[in-house]
Amino acid sequence: MKDMKMKTKLIIGFLVPSILVLINIILGQLSTKNAIHIVDPEKQSTYLLGSTIFTMAMAVISMAVTFFIALVLIRTIEKSVKQLSDAAKEIAQGRVDIKMEKYNNDEFGELVDEYMQVVENIKYQSHIAEEVSNGNLTITVNPVSADDLLGNSLKKLVDDNHNALSNISDAGSQVTISSSQVASASQALAQGSTEQASAIQQITASIDEIAEKTRQNAEQANS
């Protein structure tokens, strides 16, 4: 019964009572024909009474079977529909921590499987959004299909942010390289300034020495 489709169950549910009613009608007609051939009025009356009781019993059995089948089908449908309805309400409220039970392998069981796929996809997309909100822009997003609007949007968001961060990183590397070059040039300039200062000191010392020699020569010339 668990692997039987709901359509088949409904067909059986309508077919069994119909067959019982048909059997009851046929037996009633046979009983009437047989009663006609009975000559003894007392035996005929007894036969008709037994036939009537049998017909009523068959009618009661038919009604009981019909009621039982209808009750089983109603309970199965009601239980499955209620579970699906509760799950839809939870999803509408934004809650995806849902556990559903597959009662039968019928159309409702297939619907439960499809619901669980929807829930798993929502959980996956929620995880992606949470990772992005926490600053993880290196996460890989795999949309379910080309028509997965939210999945493709998240993928585009992550890819765009990743490209932007890559450009910023490249720009930072270029700034670092330029800063190193400026620092090297400044160091070279400072070294050149130091060498020029040393040369100026040497020139100054030479001028002082020449001035001293000139003074001495002047004194000797005066003498």
For residue 111, give the nearest of 146, 85, 93 by alpha carbon. 85
- Residue 165 and residue 109 share a domain: no
* Number of neighbouring beta carbons within 10 Å of residue 65: 15
Residue 186's pLDDT is what?
A: 67
Residue 216 in domain: yes
Residue 141 in domain: no
The number of angstroms, rounded, from the C-alpha of 218 to the middle of its chain's C-alpha atoms is 105
DSSP letter for each residue of 106-144: SHHHHHHHHHHHHHHHHHHHHHHHHHHHTT--------S
Residue 2's pLDDT is what?
A: 58
Average pLDDT, consecutive stretches of 10 residues, N- to C-terminus, the chain (223 residues) = 68 78 78 72 76 80 82 83 84 78 78 83 79 75 76 76 68 69 70 72 76 74 70
- Residue 162 and residue 132 share a domain: no
- Cβ-based neighbours of 155, under 8 Å, separated by 6 or more: 141, 142, 143
Whether the model clears a pTM of 0.85, i.e. scores above it, the answer is no
Residue 165's pLDDT is what?
A: 66
Residue at a domain's end among 95, 112, 136: 136
The residue segments making up the domain with residue 87 are 6-136
Residue 15 in domain: yes
Residue type (1 letter), 71:
L
Distances (CA, A) of 33 to 29, 39, 45, 132, 220: 6, 12, 13, 85, 177
- Residue 181 and residue 76 share a domain: no
- Residue 129 and residue 159 share a domain: no
Q: How many domains does the chain have?
A: 2
- Residue 127 and residue 18 share a domain: yes
List, for residues 164-195, the tens digit of each pLDDT value: 766 666 666 676 776 677 667 667 676 766 77
List, for residues 61-74, the tens digit of each pLDDT value: 878 888 888 888 88
- Residue 171 and residue 97 share a domain: no
